Amino acid sequence: MSALVSTSSLVHEFTSHRSSHVALDHVTVEIEKGTSLGVVGESGSGKTTLVRCILGLLRPTGGSVRFDGAEVARMSTKELRAMRRRVGMVFQNPVMALDPRMTVEESIAEPLRVHTRLRGADLQRAIGEALDAVALPQAHRTRLPHQLSGGQCQRVGIARALATHPELVILDEPTSALDVSVQAQILNLLTDLRVERDLTFVMISHSLDVVRYLSDDVVVMLQGRIVEEGTAAEVLAAPQHEYTQNLVAACPTVESDSLRFALQSREETSK
Amino acid sequence: MTTAPALLQVRDLQIEFTDRGRVTNRPVRGVQLEIGSREVLGVVGETGCGKSITANAILGTLPEQARATGRIEFAGVEQLSLPERERAVNRGDAISIVFQNPGTAFNPVFRLGNQMRMVLRRHRGLRGRAATAIIAERLSDVGLTDTQRVMNAYPHELSGGMLQRVMIAMALLCEPRLLILDEPTTALDVTVARQILLLILRLQHALGFSVLLITHDLGVVKATCDRVAVLYAGRVVETGPADAVLKTPKHPYTQGLVGALPGQSGGRLRSIEGQVPANFLGIQGCAFADRCYAAIDTCRQVDPDLRPVSTTHEVACIRGGEL
């Protein structure tokens, strides 16, 4: 196996004339082909900056990002475009991520027009395949985002991301805006597509349950640094770093005890 | 469960949207709720099931095109028939609300202290030092010790978690008897969310108000609620103690919700087939029948009312007892 994406000692510092903020502090990750990596951490921990550096949307202050062996920072515009054809991106808020004035088929056609030479009937066929892949009826082609539910919009978002047959899919909180029953449909869909197409996933998520479900490996970020990494099953079952332990403890699930017990026992011990 | 008369009783609440005299939708179709004193009731359901609009009806903040019928009794007084002037007396005073997104719920151009002063001036006629003293006390109750800095801050100067604390402090200024929380932690990081939930429970314990907690997160219900009401398509389909409803759900919809959670075990997730109807006007029989694994012919004709399956647990399903 070889790494599809690797970063080594990646540093990104945002600077303004008055202050600077280190968003990524020597981050090293290796993402093997066909694996699924979960990136967890609170707001401002550097998750999105990491993804933007991988895509070449931000120029790192230090360290390097390699995509399939090639240094992203040294790529020409043409090479960057060729790389981005191999990457799909699914956003958090499916309704807002789509252009409200574009129909479903126009939204899906856009990346195909930019990245492929498909036109006319071939383009229509590719749009049809993309809709089939996410189980949306062909009748939805002419609908606008406001005529679809949140779950259907996210299916369009996934169809759009996968239309060009990328190898790497970046998922930024793909289900956090969805209801649980719809979340289950989308997670099942992503699992199926990953197997069928041998995709590599990088998923940003707050939900440890979703990470446990969809990711093989996980990195936990805090203030721009990776504080813990390993297989998702191990890290989430037996977190070592204090921050990860807090994160795991803080996630309310239907299996966990009522917080009232925590409150009562704390009050008892403080008495 | 509630031997004393309930603080809030919602009976057969119906809400209709009208457009030039024509009824265009009926987002709430006979909701029954009851909250005892010092009780935490969770209202769960998916987008569009009628959770937030029910809260609006309780507060008296429905949009103009909406019309509510049925009964909402708060502290023994029927609310729906009261004139707006009298309902406004309770709003922000005896009944208060904390909104989902602290970043947009405040007015961005006023200092937080001034926004809190408006509440005390309106409901208590307090100004100046008297108001400042109460505000400072409430802010320290919610764990914001640098009260002067918070009062002088504009909303954008504080983090989401701090702003949510300020909103809770603001909602508690007049010592409400009922606090409505509309998805209070959805916009927050999990570690911050846990602190906020603990804070709410601690204050509820100390001050003795009742809570109506609107959420779509069953984990939050389990963590905080005494009882829960599950809404589907504008009706309560199941209600009972939070533990019992989540552990042994009786309504096929609740069973689907619990089963759809990605838990510890891997494997394919159970999802509920189909979608919520886009408009609730034309619903015949049970609204869930088309998506239900257990539906029989009668389900499409009769819309079942809540029936007890134990002394505290009720379910609106004609097969509820057997599933």
What HEC string does A115-149 produce?
HCCCCHHHHHHHHHHHHHHCCCCHHHHHCCHHHCC
H-state helical runs in B142-189: 147-152, 160-171
Domain boundary among A134, A164, A194: A164
Q: Do residues A190 and A57 both lie within one domain?
A: yes
Q: Is residue B13 part of a domain?
A: yes
Q: How far is Cα A233 from Cα A235, in angstroms, rounded to an integer?
A: 6
Domain boundary among B121, B154, B173: B173
Q: Are A66 and A26 in contact (CB under 8 A)?
A: no
Q: Do residues B168 and B180 both lie within one domain?
A: no
- From chain B, pick out residues whose CB is under 8 angstroms from the CB of A263: 198, 201-202, 205
Q: Is residue A259 part of a domain?
A: yes
pLDDT of residue A271: 39
Q: Is residue B225 part of a domain?
A: yes
A150 touches chain B (CB under 8 A): yes
Q: How many CB atoms lie within 10 A of CB B98?
A: 23
Q: Do residues A81 and A177 both lie within one domain?
A: yes
Q: Do residues B233 and B316 both lie within one domain?
A: yes
Q: Is residue A117 part of a domain?
A: yes
User: How many CB pairs (< 8 A) connect A and B?
Assistant: 107
C-alpha distance from B254 to closest chain A C-alpha (Å):
10
Q: Is residue A55 part of a domain?
A: yes
H-state helical runs in chain A: 47-54, 77-85, 94-97, 104-115, 120-133, 150-162, 180-197, 208-214, 232-237, 242-250, 259-270
Q: Is residue B22 part of a domain?
A: yes
Q: Are B260 and B283 in contact (CB under 8 A)?
A: no
pLDDT of residue A270: 43
Which range of residues forms the domain containing residue B253? 1-94+176-271+286-323
pLDDT of residue B290: 92
Q: What is the DSSP letter of A258?
A: P
* Inter-chain CB proximity B222 and A181 less than 8 Å: no
* Inter-chain CB proximity A180 and B257 less than 8 Å: yes
Which range of residues forms the domain containing residue A107? 99-164
pLDDT of residue B322: 83
Neighbouring residues of B86: CB distance < 8 A, sequence distance ≥ 6: none
Q: Do residues B43 and B143 both lie within one domain?
A: no
Q: Is residue A93 part of a domain?
A: no
- From chain A, pick out residues whose CB is under 8 angstroms from the CB of B264: 212, 255
What token pair was written down for A76? 């020409």
Q: Do residues A182 and A261 both lie within one domain?
A: yes
pLDDT of residue B52: 92
* Inter-chain CB proximity B201 and A263 less than 8 Å: yes
Number of independent structural domains in chain B: 2
Query: What would you report as the CA-atom Rg of chain B, rounded to the nearest whole angstrom?
Result: 21
C-alpha distance from A257 to closest chain B C-alpha (Å):
6
Q: Is residue B184 part of a domain?
A: yes
What token pair was written down for B124? 């208590």
Q: How far is CA B209 from the centre of its chain?
A: 14
Domain with residue A15: its CATH number is 3.40.50.300
Number of independent structural domains in chain A: 2
Of residues B222, B264, B275, nearest to A252 (C-beta)? B222
Q: Do residues B191 and B313 both lie within one domain?
A: yes
What token pair was written down for A109? 């056609």
Q: How far is Cα B65 from Cα B77, in angstroms, rounded to an integer?
A: 24
- From chain B, pick out residues whose CB is under 8 angstroms from the CB of A259: 194, 197-198, 201, 223-224
Q: Do residues A73 and A170 both lie within one domain?
A: yes
Q: Do residues A170 and A247 both lie within one domain?
A: yes
Q: How far is Cα A223 from Cα A46, in angstroms, rounded to an integer?
A: 7
Numbered residues of chain B with Cβ closer than 8 Å to any chain A Cβ: 46-47, 160, 189-194, 197-198, 201-202, 205, 216-224, 242, 246, 256-258, 260-264, 266, 268-272, 275
Q: Do residues A73 and A178 both lie within one domain?
A: yes
- From chain B, pick out residues whose CB is under 8 angstroms from the CB of A44: none
Q: Is residue B276 part of a domain?
A: no
Q: Do residues B150 and B33 both lie within one domain?
A: no
C-alpha angle B227/B230/B233, rounded to 5°?
155
Residue B244's closest chain A neighbor by CA? A254
Choose, out of B271, B288, B291, B292, the residue to mutate when testing the contact with A (most A CBs < 10 Å). Answer: B271
Q: Do residues A195 and A260 both lie within one domain?
A: yes
- From chain B, pick out residues whose CB is under 8 angstroms from the CB of A149: 275
Neighbouring residues of B319: CB distance < 8 A, sequence distance ≥ 6: B294, B296, B299
Q: List C-alpha distances in Å: B292 to B201, B270, B295, B308.
A: 36, 13, 5, 20
A210 touches chain B (CB under 8 A): yes
Q: Do residues A225 and A126 both lie within one domain?
A: no
Domain boundary among A119, A146, A164: A164
pLDDT of residue B112: 97
- From chain A, pick out residues whose CB is under 8 angstroms from the CB of B189: 42-43, 206
Domain boundary among A132, A147, A164: A164
Of residues A42, A191, A252, nearest to B220 (C-beta)? A252
C-alpha distance from B248 to closest chain A C-alpha (Å):
12
Q: Do residues A195 and A248 both lie within one domain?
A: yes
What token pair was written down for B17? 């949207």
Q: Is residue B27 part of a domain?
A: yes
Q: Do residues B183 and B49 both lie within one domain?
A: yes
Q: List C-alpha distances in Å: B249 to A178, A237, B30, B47, B285.
A: 22, 27, 21, 20, 21
- Helix orientation angle between A259-270 and B190-207, rounded to the nearest 10 degrees: 70
Q: Do residues B154 and B27 both lie within one domain?
A: no
Q: Do residues B123 and B3 both lie within one domain?
A: no
Q: Is residue B280 part of a domain?
A: no
Measuring CA to CA, which residue among A215, A206, A184 is closest to residue A250? A206
Q: What is the DSSP string of B31-96?
A: EEEEE-TT-EEEEE--TTSSHHHHHHHHHT---TTEEEEEEEEETTEE-TTS-HHHHHHHBTTTEE
A183 touches chain B (CB under 8 A): yes
Q: Is residue A91 part of a domain?
A: no
Domain with residue B312: its CATH number is 3.40.50.300
Q: Do residues B40 and B164 both lie within one domain?
A: no
List chain A residues with pLDDT less than 50: 268-271
Neighbouring residues of B114: CB distance < 8 A, sequence distance ≥ 6: none
The dihedral over CA atoms of A142, A148, A152, A158, expressed in degrees to the nearest 10, equals: 60
Q: Is residue B277 part of a domain?
A: no
Q: Is residue A92 part of a domain?
A: no
Choose, out of B162, B189, B192, the residue to mutate when testing the contact with A (most A CBs < 10 Å). Answer: B189
What token pair was written down for A162? 């996968």
- From chain B, pick out residues whose CB is under 8 angstroms from the CB of A208: 190
pLDDT of residue B265: 62
Q: Is residue A94 part of a domain?
A: no
Q: What is the pLDDT along chain B (323 residues), one digit of tens a residue?
A: 445 679 999 999 999 999 998 999 999 999 999 999 999 999 999 888 999 999 999 999 999 999 999 999 999 999 999 999 999 999 999 999 999 888 899 999 999 999 999 999 999 999 999 999 999 999 999 999 899 999 999 999 999 899 999 999 999 999 999 999 999 988 888 888 998 999 999 999 999 999 999 998 999 999 999 999 999 999 999 999 999 999 999 999 999 999 888 876 667 888 888 888 888 998 999 999 999 999 999 999 999 999 999 999 999 999 987 88
Q: Do residues A160 and A127 both lie within one domain?
A: yes
Q: Do residues B210 and B250 both lie within one domain?
A: yes
Q: Do residues A71 and A134 both lie within one domain?
A: no
Q: Do residues B167 and B181 both lie within one domain?
A: no
Residue A207's closest chain B neighbor by CA? B190
Q: How far is Cα B181 from Cα B224, in angstroms, rounded to an integer?
A: 12
Q: How many CB atoms lie within 10 A of CB B284?
A: 10
CB burial of residue B303 (10 Å; 0-12, 13-18, 19+): middle
Give CB contacts under 8 A, 24+ apart, made by A123-132: A126/A163, A127/A163, A130/A159, A130/A160, A130/A162, A130/A163, A131/A104, A131/A159
How do strand A36-40 and strand A200-204 relate by DSSP bridges?
parallel
Q: Do residues B245 and B306 both lie within one domain?
A: yes
Domain boundary among B173, B188, B213: B173
Q: Is residue A78 part of a domain?
A: yes
A258 touches chain B (CB under 8 A): yes
Residue A259's closest chain B neighbor by CA? B223
Domain boundary among B115, B138, B173: B173
A268 touches chain B (CB under 8 A): no
